[in-house]
Amino acid sequence: MMRTQIFRRRTLYGVAICGIGSVFGFRLLKARGYDLSTEGKGSWQFYVLSTLPLRKMSRLWGSLAHREIPVPTRAPLYRLWASIFDSDLDEISETLESFPCLADFFSRRISIDAERPFSNADMMSPVDGKVVSCGVIKDNLVGQLKGVTFPLKQFLGKDPDLKTSSGKLFYVILYLAPGNYHRIHSPFEWKITSRRHFAGDLYPVLPAIAKFVPNLFAVNERIVLSGVWRHGYCSVTPVGAFNVGSIQLSTLIDPAIQTNSSQDDRKVRVLKSSTSASPTSDGYNDWLQYSELRSRFVGVLQKPGDEIGAFRMGSSVVILFETSSDDQFFFRIKAGDRIRTGDEIGVVLH
């Protein structure tokens, strides 16, 4: 009886503290000029997210996801995960007990030929997920969501391959939910010419949250793989997110790359605290140094369906591609569509 009363008292105290804290918090946000009714730049949601140590929180979650799980509890835990996030366990050839930790289960392999056969389309989906947006790049702006964009030059950095582009540029943004298959495959036949790693922040990429973060895909950590396909310039970019700081690349591309490293935390803090390097400013990526690798990719050809890499948790993939001015590209998808690896994205007509 005494313990019950203590628990109730502490619960009431906790609720009261949270309520008072919320009132003062909202007053502070309003005093600092944040419009509590708007989205994107100046919104209170963006202010709250920008004050959180998202990189450190993601590394903490990563360490938990890599903890080895006792064998008897693996199958029940993974089945619970699958039931919550709607994962398809039937396409897994290994036993559930063979995955030592949640991160291994999350980035599980499947038989692409059997489960995700690639068609002969001009462009196919590199991942399982949901179409966030797709369309034509206009005025060097990419559509993050309806009515929300991010600048192409910030997203790619100084890309010499893009400078030679003379045709039309298109984009596709695909979001991977926690229950999806998380390997990334080549959406077409292409030759990778460079790899750029941008050490950025790790804002959530959920479409419901993305509308509050201006230039989201240009400030989050990402690995830009640029190259050439038969119609001109192209790039495939895995973008990190909150709790998804770990992006792996295949052995043919760059198996040694490390994302969400603690060594990059200070650089990201300086960027966020500098007015001229604010994620909402046009010159953000002028301050953002990135590591680049080119020599490794001489002669490396990626065929449709070849594995590019994997997420250790869910995130997004951004595809940019060019067609000649004489060709027309027709999307077979639209925003909100569910898509699976190997499904047709679009076709080029001459």
Under the banding of pLDDT at 50, 70 and 90, the label for residue 334 is: very high
Q: Are 309 and 184 in contact (CB under 8 A)?
A: yes
**SS3 assignment, position 74:** helix
* pLDDT above 50 (res 286): no
Give Cα 76 distance to the centre of its chain: 28
**SS3 assignment, position 304:** coil
Catalytic-labelled residue, pool 185, 201, 226, 278: 185
Residues 226, 319: Cα–Cα separation, whole Å: 10
Residues 10, 98: Cα–Cα separation, whole Å: 43
Model pLDDT, residue 203 = 85
Note if 197 is an active site residue: no
Under the banding of pLDDT at 50, 70 and 90, the label for residue 95 is: very high
Percent of the chain's residues with pLDDT above 70: 75
Note if 104 is an active site residue: no
Q: Is 103 left (phi over 0), alpha (psi -120 to 50) or beta?
A: alpha
Under the banding of pLDDT at 50, 70 and 90, the label for residue 343 is: very high
* pLDDT above 90 (res 189): yes
Residues 222, 201: Cα–Cα separation, whole Å: 9
275 token code pair: 């007015």
Model pLDDT, residue 8 = 46
Residues 308, 254: Cα–Cα separation, whole Å: 10
200 token code pair: 């950025």
Give Cα 14 distance to the centre of its chain: 35
Q: What angle do CA 171, 41, 316 make, to 5 degrees?
A: 35
Q: Are 229 and 189 in contact (CB under 8 A)?
A: yes
Residues 93, 303: Cα–Cα separation, whole Å: 24
Residues 132, 108: Cα–Cα separation, whole Å: 24
Which is nearest to 297 in space by CA: 312, 308, 310? 308
Which is nearest to 180 in space by CA: 313, 334, 62? 313
Catalytic-labelled residue, pool 43, 133, 235, 315: 315
Average pLDDT (35-47) is 55
Note if 250 is an active site residue: no
Model pLDDT, residue 43 = 65
Max intra-chain CA distance, the chain:
80
Which is nearest to 290 in space by CA: 223, 197, 226, 218? 197
Catalytic-labelled residue, pool 122, 125, 128, 201: 128
Model pLDDT, residue 50 = 76
**SS3 assignment, position 276:** coil
- Calculate the alpha carbon distances from 71 to 77, 97, 188, 206, 298 in Å: 10, 6, 39, 32, 44
Q: Domain map of the chain by residue range?
A: 1-32, 91-349
Average pLDDT (236-256) is 84
